[in-house]
Amino acid sequence: MSKQTYRVCLCFSRRFKLAVAEAPEEIRALFNQYSENGIMTDNHLHRFLIEVQKQEKATLEEAQAIIESLKHLAIFHRKGLNLEAFFKYLFGDNNPPLDLKLGAHHDMTAPISHYFIYTGHNSYLTGNQLSSDCSDVPIINALKKGVRVIELDIWPNSNKDDVEVLHGRTLTTPVQLIKCLRSIKEHAFTASEFPVVITLEDHLTPDLQSKVSKMVTQTFGDTLFSPGSECLKEFPSPESLKRRIIISTKPPKEYLEAKEIKDKESDSQKGNAAPDEEAWGKEIPNLKGSDDKHNELDEDDNDTEEDPGEGDRKLPHDLAPEYKRLIAIPAGKPKGGLEECLKVDPDKVRRLSLSEQQLENAAETHGKEIVRFTQRNILRVYPKGIRVNSSNYNPLIGWMHGAQMVAFNMQGHGRSLWMMQGMFRANGGCGFVKKPDFLLKSGPDGEVFDPKAKLPVQKTLKVKIYMGEGWYYDFHHTHFDAYSPPDFYVRVGIAGVPADTGMKKTRTLEDNWIPVWDEEFEFPLTVPELALLRIEVHEYDMSEKDDFGGQTCLPVRELREGIRALPLHDRKGEKYNSVKLLVRLEFV
């Protein structure tokens, strides 16, 4: 055994002895304050929960249950918690930053237009937008993670006698529609009982629309929500639509036969593709779009997801009536430009789709009109066409304008997707997050929230990063450095409206599997309701790019104050078994 290997093994063998020795001074001081003769009784712990953890409703029974849960530890003292057991509790799974016991606790009885909804884009793709396989597997994976909106692009098969799902006019290999529908039926309510919306991008002839109608009705049966031929005057609530499937699509185009990609188009798309994202993905661009224009080629948006206007002469007049009755959330762009698109009809509701670039442009001149539109109607935002590698965009541009369906490529990875995952950790992970009141209410003269307004600071979030642990268990011991322990630092910050957005970082601690930073940061927040706490752990590498050490993103509106154990996640958003940070969260 080499001297270095011996040193690493020795570090591991001393792990549990080192735990208390490395407890931050503030943790030791708090233990001394809330204990007597080195023992924290249930009464002491109860007071700690109320005064430090800000759990005003905590009961003595809850404190007793925490102590009971630690009895299996060899370090446990029969009269209560000693310092080591207290430290284990703070760093344990029963002390998370979000209250998981609350489940779906937002008011779920408002119209679905009052919620942000966890939304997928091209949900059937396994990889890039041009040549990956189409499959029901990514659909299943998305549903298991709580995604509530699944997008399917439906096309005739080569014989024109059946329906396939694929990304049209690309080299993606198709999957049968019926297979996707059956998988949705089986997995729709695994993670959440709230409704699943299927958005269809329709490229079918009326006879195949009739076939789809039969597939959908036979597959979903009574779980299908169908309002019939009447237009909805207001959307139903998520509560009333529990365990229901909803179909949303636009008046179908005249069928356009799918052809192979032209050489010119193929070359153009390849030239526009952003480079593959690194482990981290690009840093989130600001909401003015300037960063994004430097990161992506600044070309006109070339998406073709939306139909021409309903009055377009190419639209078929004989829409299959049984298919039309399936459409609970009608979609489409009316003729007449942006003003016409954003008109609010008091007698019916609908869905409008804009690309990220179209929304960004519209927000410059019609920000308040977009907010007013989304109070009753649904706005879906989708990635621009040059994101052929299935990257994503800053979702805040949609959320701060009230957009319910900010559609993401769930098979990708990187910071934008981590933000999406963070937003939908709120409300018990049910896939529906109630929009803040300021996006839903109008003033006495009909005025609505102005996304461009400069607002005063509402509150300040203080984040103290104490320490981290768990990398030794979840990573190979030579993963970061072949001959020495890792050199970790933490980036911590806020994703939110432009005034609130920013990142800071700790110092780098060299050669330490259990780093103790003990550094505090303050983040003034003007719109805390839309803010997300972003945390990333990096491992400094002098000669190469810094290594990935974990990340998490959490909704600020649901953070629990006090000292909390923050589990970290991998690039795809899967939680590590052991890696956590110990932090203190406080609002002032």
Which is nearest to 40 in space by CA: 87, 92, 107? 87
Distant-in-sequence, close-in-space partners of 481: CB < 8 Å, separation ≥ 6:
487, 539
Torsions phi, psi of 146, nearest 5?
Answer: 100, 5
What number of residues does the chain have? 588
Amino acid code (one letter) for 177:
L
294 is catalytic: no
| Cα angle 574, 578, 580; round to 5 | 85
Which is nearest to 215 in space by CA: 271, 259, 176? 176
Distant-in-sequence, close-in-space partners of 554: CB < 8 Å, separation ≥ 6:
97, 98, 422, 425, 532, 533, 535, 566
Amino acid code (one letter) for 544:
E
Alpha helix segments (H runs only) across 221-300: 263-272, 290-295
Q: How far is CA 341 from CA 246, 309, 371, in A?
A: 23, 10, 13
Using DSSP's 3-state secondary structure scheme, residue 291 falls into: helix
- Per DSSP bridges, beta strands 575-587 and 459-469 are antiparallel
Taking the C-alpha atoms of residue 563 and residue 568, their distance in angstroms, rounded to an integer, is: 16
- Contact (Cβ atoms closer than 8 angstroms) between residue 201 and residue 177: no
Q: How far is CA 203 from CA 34, 131, 132, 180, 336, in A?
A: 67, 19, 20, 17, 24
Q: Extract the tokens encoding 398.
A: 């949609």
Distant-in-sequence, close-in-space partners of 149: CB < 8 Å, separation ≥ 6:
117, 118, 119, 120, 196, 197, 198, 199, 405, 407
From the candidates 121, 401, 413, 477, which is the catalytic residue? 121
Q: Extract the tokens encoding 501.
A: 């957005």
Taking the C-alpha atoms of residue 469 and residue 91, their distance in angstroms, rounded to an integer, is: 9
Q: Extract the tokens encoding 474.
A: 């979840």
Taking the C-alpha atoms of residue 487 and residue 460, their distance in angstroms, rounded to an integer, is: 30
Taking the C-alpha atoms of residue 92 and residue 565, their distance in angstroms, rounded to an integer, is: 7
121 is catalytic: yes
From the candidates 46, 114, 167, 538, which is the catalytic residue? 167
Enter the DSSP assignment of 562.
Answer: E
Look-up of token digits 């055994």: 1
Q: How many CB atoms lie within 10 A of CB 34?
A: 20
* Residues involved in catalysis: 121, 167
